[in-house]
Amino acid sequence: MSDFPSPERALEQNVFDEWPDAVRTLFDGSSLASKTGFTASLLTVDANGHVRTSLLGVGELYAPDSRSLCIALWPQARAARVIAQNGRAALTFVCEETFYQVQLRWTPLAGVTGDDSGLVYLIGSIDTGEAQSVRYARLTSGITFELEAEGEAVLDRWERQIEHLKQAAAAASH
């Protein structure tokens, strides 16, 4: 008899097209200081077929509803260029001991009044999402980080970015 769980029962996998409650809370744009350190990987495939990763923090992610996600990217970022070309990217992250991989279709959001950041705002709709966990191991974190000496300035910038994402998302839904 094996000490390993059977493969059929080891992996719990759920497919979704709406954000689970824990993820909506993570991406709700509030309490950014308490969510500092969280990192999501935005995965794109460039024209040469190479997978590229951009790391995003909670100050660059906002879910205005149960099926969408807004992001803020620098215009010179590879991800911004690739998404402009093909409108697709995947987001991966760990939340509450579960690994998430979400395929999204992206469109640009208009800028907002008073925003001089130069950031590109995009809204993605969930094409399909997968949540995976295993019973025999607990994911304790994904990629994480600590803010350095400029942490307050970063949090201030994130607060502004989230406000701009909220305004752009609200304008797009009207």
Cα separations in angstroms, 113 against 109, 160, 165, 168, 173: 13, 12, 12, 9, 17
Residue 157 DSSP symbol: H
- Mind listing the pLDDT tens digit for each residue in 54-80? 999 999 999 999 999 999 999 999 999
> Within 10 Å of residue 75's Cβ, how many Cβ atoms?
10
Check: pTM over 0.75? Answer yes or no: yes
Q: Which pLDDT tens digit goes with each residue over 1-45?
A: 445 445 556 789 999 999 999 999 999 999 999 999 999 999 999
CATH class name, domain 11-172? mainly beta
